[in-house]
Structure formats: C-alpha cells, structure tokens
C-alpha cells in the first residue's frame, strides 16, 4: 500500500516539476531584476549617481529588448519565407499532377472515341453487306452473315 502511495506521489511531483519549468525561469528572472533594483536603491550613492545608473540600466534593457525583438522578427520572417516556399513547391507539384491527370483523361477520351468510331464503322460496313465473312464482332468461324 505504501509503495503505491509513494509511486502516485512521485508521479504527481514529476508532473508538477515538468509543468513548472517555465514558471521557475520566470521567477528567477523576476527575482534577479528585483534584487538588482533593490541593491541599487540601498547602495550608498548620491541621488545623482543613482539616477544616472538607473538611466543607463534602463537604456541597456531597452537596447536588449529591441535586439531581441529584431531577432525574433528576423526568425519569424525566415520561417514565414520557408513556409511560403514549401507551399509554393506543393502547389507546383499539385499543378503538375493535375496536368498529368488531365492529359491521361484526354488520351483515354481520344482512345474511347476512336474505338467507338471504329466499332461504328465496322458495324456499318457489316450491315451494308460488305465482305465481312466471319470477321464481324460476335461472329464465329464457320458462320455466315449472308442470307
């Protein structure tokens, strides 16, 4: 009974650890920023030095944020370009398949028309009393179409 209880608790703990990985990093970053800010506020510096340091740090953070945004934008644009290329390749491949299918259907239609025309011509020449002794469709050797 205790083994099952311990195993169930370890599964829950593992699930909680796996789901909480992102929140741990956010907490770490938040703590770092707050610690740095509090350290600057309580440091023995004059007000002017402190304001200059805060201004420099804010400018640095703004530059880092802009650089991160620029990188994210470039990455997103690269992914979008790759996606567009993949879609274009798939569309071209699909168009090629449609063209080949259209050609095959056209050839099949031509063959069927030619076969029907030849069959109709053969039936017409047989019905008109041409010399088709034993050569018409459905005729058997030794049978005659003459009356």
Q: What share of the chain has pLDDT > 90, as a percent?
A: 33
Structural contact between residues 41 and 50, judged by C-beta atoms closer than 8 angstroms: yes
pLDDT of residue 4: 56
CA dist 111 and 129 (Å) reads 27
Other CB atoms within 10 Å distance of the CB of residue 43: 10
CA dist 22 and 31 (Å) reads 14
At 122-144, the pLDDT tens digits run 877 776 665 544 444 554 444 44
The number of C-alpha atoms within 13 Å of 102 and in the hemisphere containing its C-beta is: 6
Range 84-101 average pLDDT:
94
Range 91-101 average pLDDT:
94
pLDDT of residue 54: 82
């Amino acid at each position: 009974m205790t083994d099952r209880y311990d195993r169930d608790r370890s599964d829950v703990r593992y699930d909680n650890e796996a789901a909480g990985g992102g929140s741990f990093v956010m907490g770490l970053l938040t703590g770092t920023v707050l610690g740095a800010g509090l350290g600057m506020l309580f440091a023995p510096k004059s007000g002017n030095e402190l304001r200059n340091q805060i201004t420099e740090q804010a400018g640095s953070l703004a530059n880092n944020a802009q650089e991160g945004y620029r990188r994210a934008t470039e990455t997103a644009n690269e992914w979008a370009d790759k996606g567009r290329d993949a879609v274009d390749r798939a569309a071209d491949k699909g168009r090629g398949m449609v063209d080949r299918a259209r050609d095959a259907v056209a050839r099949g239609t031509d063959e069927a028309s030619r076969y029907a025309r030849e069959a109709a011509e053969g039936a017409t020449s047989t019905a008109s009393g041409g010399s088709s002794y034993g050569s018409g469709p459905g005729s058997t050797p030794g049978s005659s179409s003459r009356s």
